[in-house]
Amino acid sequence: MKITTSSPTARVVVLFKNDCFQTSKMMEDAINTISKKHLTQSTRFVRINAVDAPFLTTRLDIRVLPCVVSYIGGKETGRIVGLEGLINGTDLKSFKVENLERLFLGQGLLDRKAFDLNVDFSKTSENKSIRTGLRGSSRTSYDDEDSDLDI
């Protein structure tokens, strides 16, 4: 999918959610916290209720909610399906906003200078588990020209 924005370097994080799901609410709260903390940055945070956008969710092959899709310069750079890589097994209590924020930082969606410098990046086991939740953007199931989303 290609997102057209006013800047070729624009960063966009799109949350596909369903308000009936606890995990969607958790992810939405975490993204709200991150967006408030990084308010002055050029990253745009968008929420889409998947029930209200069936064409878009089908077109982007969104099958599990919540789903966070990130874009830089209009190209998909990452995808978080459910809470994969952000929790330990099925323990929802292990979900931490800092892990999601660290993931966004690693993807280049947030600037390091605005990131909380008190976060310890030496925890390699946490960093490793976060990376496993990403799915690359090498999808060929549709033509980029047909799937443009103008924001």
- Tell me the pLDDT tens digit for each residue of 26-54: 999 999 999 998 876 789 999 999 999 99
The answer to whether 82 and 66 are in contact (CB under 8 A) is: yes
Please give the pLDDT value at position 10: 87
Residue 67: what pLDDT?
A: 97
Structure tokens that stand for 8 in this block: 């070729």
Domains of the chain: 2-134 (3.40.30.10)
Residues of the chain with pLDDT under 50: 117-118, 120-151
Q: Are 48 and 16 in contact (CB under 8 A)?
A: yes
pLDDT of residue 122: 42
